[in-house]
Structure 1
Amino acid sequence: MFTNTEINFEALRKKAYNGRWATLEDGIIPLTAADPDFRMSHEIEQGIIDYIKDGYLSYGPFSGLPEFKESVAKHFNTGKKGNFTPENILAVNSAAQGMFLIAKYVLGPGEEAIIFDPVDFLFKKTVEAVGGTIRLCSVDSTTGDIDLEMLVSLINPKTKLISICNPHNPVGRVYSKEILKKISEIAAAHDLWVMSDEIWSDIVYDGIEFNTYSSVSEEAKKKSFTVFGFSKSFGIAGLRIGAVLCNDQEILDDFTEKSNFNSTIEGVSTLSQIAASVAIEKAKPWFNDFLTHLQHNRDLAHTMLSNSGVLTPNSPQATFVIFPKIENGMSSDDFAQHVLKQGKVAIVPGSERWFGAGAEGHIRICFSTSQEILTEGLHRIIKSF
């Protein structure tokens, strides 16, 4: 199902933007943005068709369609140790928007948020967009280990938020219940909000247990938001659909009101919500095959890079990106430019722009493609030196 013959390259060259097929010259292999090369499942496609057959695309409820909210709550409760009711769910038009709205809700001008370094650039962008100030907590760029002593040392009277990425992008670490509980204790001791970005929480390998943040302790349930999206697991990034989850209904109701969702200013496409609901309810067999394919690709990438003499790979527990260390002394940007020019492969440099200063000396490679494309891409990277 996930072979080269299943990839519609013509469609990708028309539709796959964000540093991928539609933005690059012919002949370049994009292993860049975390977006699958494979089409969405037929179940999602049919669900969209069935929904629009009667010709109506009317306004939906401001906080989200009932079936969407029920599906997301069930998804977290059955697979991620959650304890959410459908009322605890707010539909948003992407996990990224959810992150922005949470930062806007929690932070006043000059107030501080603690984020990981390295981590996806959206954590920094969303805090800065609302006038907040960033404090960086070091994360090991190979293992994803959090410096908890540093985390505590960064807290001061201006601190309002700790933002965590679990599973971690770009390192691929899944944080254990014990680590999350320690974070919840630190947050509770200082009366801080916690935002947990869990967009990657479906794509976890080797049977590793995933615990949604709010499930790990009573402290974690208080003053916390969880963010989720469907672009990674089900390949529907263009539908811009995500969710904010919060166990405290009063907080979520206030958040919904202050985020302008109780009007027609904000809101989410009903079609996108239907697609997400169908993904959860009917596309799990497709997803399970996708996950198996991704695990094989992770192992393939790790083996090829381990023997390269150019890059030393980490071993991601989750996500479909790998974050190897550069071994030839080149900077991340120079390495990426060299590979693009000499190897005709596009990758993401571990630069401050994308992941923070702690990412320097690494590159990020996306492996959510066919084994044929991945093998050729990695071969080109290695042989370009």
Structure 2
Amino acid sequence: MFSNNDINFEALKRKAYNGRWATLEDGIIPLTAADPDFRIAREIEQGIIEYLKDGYLSYGPFSGLPEFKKSVADHFNKEKFGSFSPENVLAVNSAAQGMFLIAAYVLSPGDEAIILDPVDFLFKKSVETAGGKVKLCPVDTITGNIDFEQLAALINPKTKLISICNPHNPLGKVYSAEVLRKVAEIASAHDLWVMSDEIWSDIIYDNRSFHTYSSVSEEAKKKSFTVYGFSKSFGIAGLRIGAVLCNDEEILADFTEKSNFNSTIEGVSTLSQIAGSLALERAKPWYKEFLKHLQSNRDFAYHLLSTSEIVTPNFPEATFVLFPKIENGLSSEAFAQHVLQQGKVAIVPGSERWFGKGAEGHIRICFSTSQEILEEGLNRMISSF
């Protein structure tokens, strides 16, 4: 189901944008944007067709279709130790939009937010777009561990928000309930909001358990938002569908109002919400096979890169990206440019632009493709030096 023969390269070259097949010259292998190379589950495809058969695409409820909200709440409660009701869920246009809306809700111009370093660039961008100032809390690029002393030291009267990425992109770290409780204790002591981006929480290896942030303590539940999306685990990035979850219904109602979701100014395509519900209710068998394939790719890529002498790979507990350390003295940008020009492989440099200052000296490699493509890409990268 996930071999080279299952990839429609013609379709990818027409449709896969964001640094992938449709944006690159022929002959270049993209191991870049975190988006699967495989077609979506048949259950999602057939369910969308079924939904369209009566010919109606009417307005849905402003906060989201009841079936969508229920399927997201059930998924978190069954798989992630959550305690959400459908009323705790707001449908949004992607996890990324959720992050931006939360920053806008929590921060006033000049307020400060603490984010991890390194971490995906959207954390910084969402804070700055809301007029806030970013404070970076270092994360160990090998272990993924948060520097809690530094986290506490960054807090001052202007601090309003701590944002975490769990599982962590690009380090692949899954934060334990114990670590999350420490974040909650610090946030609660200073009356801070916490945003937990959990878009990667379905892509977790070795049967490791995952605790959604608000599940770990009463403090965590009290003043937090959780962000979720479907693009990583179900490959429907183009449908722009995600969710914001909050255990406090009054807070979520206020958030929904202030984010303009109580009118037709905002709102999410009903078709996208149906796809999200189908993913969680019917496509789990496909997803489980996909996860097995990804774990096999992770192991394969780790072992291949471990003997390369050019980079030292990390061993992600989650996500389908690797974040190897460069060992040949090149900067992240120079390494990525060299591999693109000499090896015809596109990778993401660990530059400040994409992941923050702490990412320098690393590259990010996406492995949500066939093993054949992955092997060819990694061998090209290694032999280009």
TM-score (norm 2): 1.00
What does residue range 236-275 of structure 1 map to in structure 2 within 5 Å?
Answer: 236-275=236-275
Aligned equivalent of 1:284? 284
Aligned equivalent of 2:151? 151
> Which amino acid in structure 1 is aligned with residue 255 of structure 2?
F
Distance of 2:145 and 2:181 partners within structure 1: 15
What does residue range 23-102 of structure 1 map to in structure 2 within 5 Å?
Answer: 23-102=23-102
Aligned equivalent of 1:203? 203
> Which amino acid in structure 2 is aligned with residue 196 of structure 1?
S
TM-aligned CA deviation for residue 48 of structure 1: 0.5
What does residue range 123-162 of structure 1 map to in structure 2 within 5 Å?
Answer: 123-162=123-162
- Alpha-carbon displacement from aligned partner over 1:259-308 (angstroms, at most 9, x marks no partner): 00000000000000000000000000000000000000000010000000
Distance of 2:183 and 2:221 partners within structure 1: 12
- Alpha-carbon displacement from aligned partner over 1:31-53 (angstroms, at most 9, x marks no partner): 00000000000000011001110
- Aligned partners of 1:117 and 1:355 also within 8 Å: yes
> Which amino acid in structure 2 is aligned with residue 44 of structure 1?
I
Aligned equivalent of 1:12? 12
Aligned equivalent of 1:327? 327
> Secondary structure at the residue paired with 2:298?
helix
Distance of 2:143 and 2:91 partners within structure 1: 33
Aligned equivalent of 2:213? 213
- Aligned partners of 1:67 and 1:277 also within 8 Å: yes
Aligned equivalent of 1:359? 359
Distance of 1:130 and 1:147 partners within structure 2: 26
> Which amino acid in structure 2 is aligned with residue 367 of structure 1?
F
> Secondary structure at the residue paired with 2:134?
strand
> Secondary structure at the residue paired with 1:17?
coil
Gap runs ≥5 in structure 2? none
> Which amino acid in structure 2 is aligned with residue 378 of structure 1?
L
Distance of 1:249 and 1:378 partners within structure 2: 48
TM-aligned CA deviation for residue 252 of structure 1: 0.2
> Secondary structure at the residue paired with 1:2?
coil
- Aligned partners of 1:322 and 1:364 also within 8 Å: yes
Distance of 1:105 and 1:223 partners within structure 2: 13
- Aligned partners of 1:121 and 1:355 also within 8 Å: yes
TM-aligned CA deviation for residue 172 of structure 1: 0.2
- Alpha-carbon displacement from aligned partner over 1:123-147 (angstroms, at most 9, x marks no partner): 0000000100000000011211100
Distance of 1:130 and 1:123 partners within structure 2: 11
Gap runs ≥5 in structure 1? none
- Alpha-carbon displacement from aligned partner over 1:362-385 (angstroms, at most 9, x marks no partner): 000000000000000000000000
> Secondary structure at the residue paired with 1:291?
helix
Distance of 2:198 and 2:368 partners within structure 1: 18
Aligned equivalent of 2:312? 312
> Which amino acid in structure 2 is aligned with residue 334 of structure 1?
A
- Aligned partners of 1:198 and 1:226 also within 8 Å: yes
Distance of 2:175 and 2:229 partners within structure 1: 19
Distance of 1:87 and 1:327 partners within structure 2: 50
Aligned equivalent of 2:188? 188
RMSD: 0.3
> Which amino acid in structure 2 is aligned with residue 8 of structure 1?
N
> Which amino acid in structure 1 is aligned with residue 54 of structure 2?
D
* Moved segments of 4+, more than 3 Å: none
TM-aligned CA deviation for residue 312 of structure 1: 0.2
Distance of 1:272 and 1:46 partners within structure 2: 14
Question: Percent of counterpart pairs with the same letter?
Answer: 79
Please tell me whether residue 233 in structure 1 is matched to residue 233 in structure 2. yes
TM-aligned CA deviation for residue 199 of structure 1: 0.1
> Which amino acid in structure 1 is aligned with residue 108 of structure 2?
G
Q: Aligned pair count?
A: 385
TM-aligned CA deviation for residue 24 of structure 1: 0.2
Distance of 2:109 and 2:351 partners within structure 1: 27
Aligned equivalent of 1:177? 177
- Aligned partners of 1:142 and 1:323 also within 8 Å: no
> Which amino acid in structure 2 is aligned with residue 173 of structure 1?
K
- Alpha-carbon displacement from aligned partner over 1:44-80 (angstroms, at most 9, x marks no partner): 0011001110000000000000000000000000000
